[in-house]
Amino acid sequence: MDDLLTPGQAASEWGVSYATAARWAREGVIPALHVGRRYYYLQGIVDQVRRARATGTAPYPNHDASAGVAMTMTWGAARSGTLLDREEWALTNAARTFDYLDYGKDSWSQDRHVAVKMAEASPGLAGQMLVHRKAREGVVDAVCRSFPQVVDLGCGLPTMRRAPHERGRVLWGPQARTVYVDHDLAALAAARAWWEHPAQVRGYNVRVLDLDLRYPGGLTAALGEHLDLSVPVGVLSTLTLDHLEDEELAGLVEALASRLAPGSGWGITHLSGMNGAADVYTGQAVEQGADTRLVAREPEGLRKVFETAGWRWRASPPDDPGRGEPPIAALTTLARPDGCVETG
């Protein structure tokens, strides 16, 4: 905790005004994630995640007092260089960029710059993202109502009005189990601070896992440790599959089809088309050396990938899309080997 400063302390140490110190944190000059009126400092959580990746151990075996320090939420400004290398935090971040496109508030200037360039390259992007909010709510609600066990692949930054684990707790009570999966440090830190730790304090069964969807073998093994895969499970991926190449997407879909029980469901949202935005995003990532991509797809191509692996595809457009072009939104169900679909 010694490395954390309040804006007043930062202002005094750096010889600037309180307002300037707070503005630096808000704009990302000081590495912090701006959420509402507070800055959630990720020092401990980032250090734990990076240590876990290096050693292969779980970053949070249990949430005791020492682990709680890592996600302490406080006003302040971190000293220069206390989180990650400044260069790494200067890179465009996928979670923050799409948070801005989704009309969120947790983005930095470099993320907004890329998002604007994406919107210029694909003029329909802004309208599609606006419609996506309704499509996402419908897909998430349908999956949470159908399954007490839910895994959210690529959960991103907390933006939903009610997170899946909160819906599950209301609908299924103590039976509810929720697993959030991401590989982005900012998303992992926010999900652990906002969702996992508070939920576990209240006795909810919620886990946040650091896993890369490009390696589905590790994903299915980890899910087996936290969920009962002998019964149907609900899967969510909202604007997640856009970041997988075609081969990686096919591998993930096939791996889950072979590991999950028949009758499992998968709720999906995906940008429809938007080739210009995908080119801009991918070009920026390549230029910065970031290990992320954006792949443009049409509904028919995405449907074929799922149906080839044994998932029954059902489009699920929002009830009132408004004037924007709707994104891809679908609910899929895993069929039995004989081709039939189990029903509850």
Q: 331 or 84, which is more confident?
A: 331
203 pLDDT band (50/70/90 cuts)? confident
Structure tokens at 115: 């998002």
**3-state SS, residue 179:** strand
Of 193, 198, 173, residue with least CA distance to 106? 193
Write down the pLDDT at residue 24: 60
Residue 318 has pLDDT above 80, yes or no: no
Write down the pLDDT at residue 324: 60
**3-state SS, residue 223:** helix
CB-hemisphere CA count at 13 Å for 85?
A: 4
Write down the pLDDT at residue 2: 34
Write down the pLDDT at residue 37: 30
Q: 67 or 280, which is more confident?
A: 280
Across 157-173, average pLDDT: 86
Across 242-253, average pLDDT: 95
Residue 102 has pLDDT above 90, yes or no: no
**CA-based R_g, the chain, Å:** 20
Across 86-93, average pLDDT: 57
Residue 79 has pLDDT above 70, yes or no: no
Write down the pLDDT at residue 159: 75
Cα–Cα distances in Å, from 201 out to 43, 97, 197, 198, 233?
A: 21, 31, 6, 5, 24
39 pLDDT band (50/70/90 cuts)? very low
Write down the pLDDT at residue 33: 36
325 pLDDT band (50/70/90 cuts)? confident
CA-based torsion, 311, 244, 137, 277: positive or negative? negative
Write down the pLDDT at residue 342: 55
pTM above 0.85, yes or no: no
Contact 336, 342 (CB under 8 A): yes
Write down the pLDDT at residue 80: 30
Structural domains present in the chain:
4-85 (no CATH), 125-334 (3.40.50.150)
Contact 228, 259 (CB under 8 A): no
Write down the pLDDT at residue 44: 43
Average pLDDT score over the chain: 77
Across 87-114, average pLDDT: 77
Residue 268 has pLDDT above 60, yes or no: yes
